[in-house]
Amino acid sequence: MQYHFSAIVRVAQRHGRTPAQVVLRWHLQHDFIPIPRSVSRDHIEENIAVFDFSLRDEDMNELDSLDGGLHLDWDPTDVR
């Protein structure tokens, strides 16, 4: 799991963003609907500040390659 976080941090550093912002942006660029949660004003503002940048194709490919097939809840590919 450490490798995954390192890749996210690398992409975040390239863009001058936080890892959380990169993950939210990755979701948006895949047309997924992220549902971030926070009670901290600073974190809420950070979560909103993901619409003024885009991840490059290289970044998206690097993040897409992190998929280890791990599902922490129901497996969406197993719906019948």
Sketch the domain layout of the chain as residue ranges: 2-65
Q: pLDDT, tens digit, for every residue of 50-61?
A: 999 999 999 999
Q: Please, which pLDDT band fits residue 34 given cuts at 50, 70 and 90?
A: very high
Best CA proximity match to 53, nearest among 20, 16, 3: 16
Over residues 7-29, the mean pLDDT reads 96
Q: Quote the pTM value.
A: 0.80
Using the predicted structure, report yes or no on whether residue 74 has a pLDDT greater than 80: no
Over residues 43-70, the mean pLDDT reads 92
Backbone region of residue 26 per phi and psi (left: phi > 0; alpha: psi in -120 to 50; beta: other values): alpha
